[in-house]
Amino acid sequence: MSDFRTEQGVDFDFLLDDKEGLPPDLDDSPGIYIIETVERFKFPYPKGQSKVIYIGMSDKLRTRILEHRRTVRQLIKTKGQYGMKKNEPWVSSKYQYMYKHGAHVFIYKCRRKQDAKNEESSALWSFYMTYRALPVGNGAKSYRRARDGKQAK
């Protein structure tokens, strides 16, 4: 992905860390994040294997990562089959994968005039072109926006 740099200390396992568990320099700036398994397990795709569970974006990264973490920790607390109690409503598959395989997060903050949605689209399109499928936790076809040339420059 062009024009992105990882911030120092902004890749972490958000399920195993201390009370807040987020790096202090992670703020509510816009950007994208990639969540992958902590285990050696890789998901099979038509053109290879990857540890990536989900590629997402947010205009407020810290807030969004905390929302994801709360959902996964709630699954861990229930300790039912697949992290769910009987008759509990369905939870998005991305959280089930994080519960089962752990979750390591890589954060990429937008710089200058980058748009988080366009950068997410580019990342999804790149993943799709590499593996010929979207990450297991992504259901939307956000990559179309990048493919159609509607990216912010």
H or E, element range at 74 = helix 61-78
Q: Is residue 74 domain-resident?
A: yes
Q: Is residue 14 domain-resident?
A: yes
Contact of 136 with 36, CB cutoff 8 Å: no
102-153 pLDDT per residue, tens: 888 888 888 888 899 999 999 999 999 999 999 999 975 544 554 554 444 3
Contact of 30 with 109, CB cutoff 8 Å: yes
Phi, psi (deg, nearest 5) at residue 53: -95, -40
Q: Is residue 118 domain-resident?
A: yes
Q: Is residue 49 domain-resident?
A: yes
Q: Is residue 82 domain-resident?
A: yes
Q: Is 35 helix (H, G, I), strand (E, B) or coil?
A: strand
72-116 pLDDT per residue, tens: 888 777 765 555 555 565 667 788 888 888 888 888 888 888 899
Q: Is 10 helix (H, G, I), strand (E, B) or coil?
A: strand
Q: Is residue 109 domain-resident?
A: yes
Domain range enclosing 73? 6-136
Q: Report pTM.
A: 0.79
Q: Is residue 152 domain-resident?
A: no
Q: Is residue 128 domain-resident?
A: yes
Q: Please compute Rg for the chain using Cα positions.
A: 16
Number of domains in the chain: 1
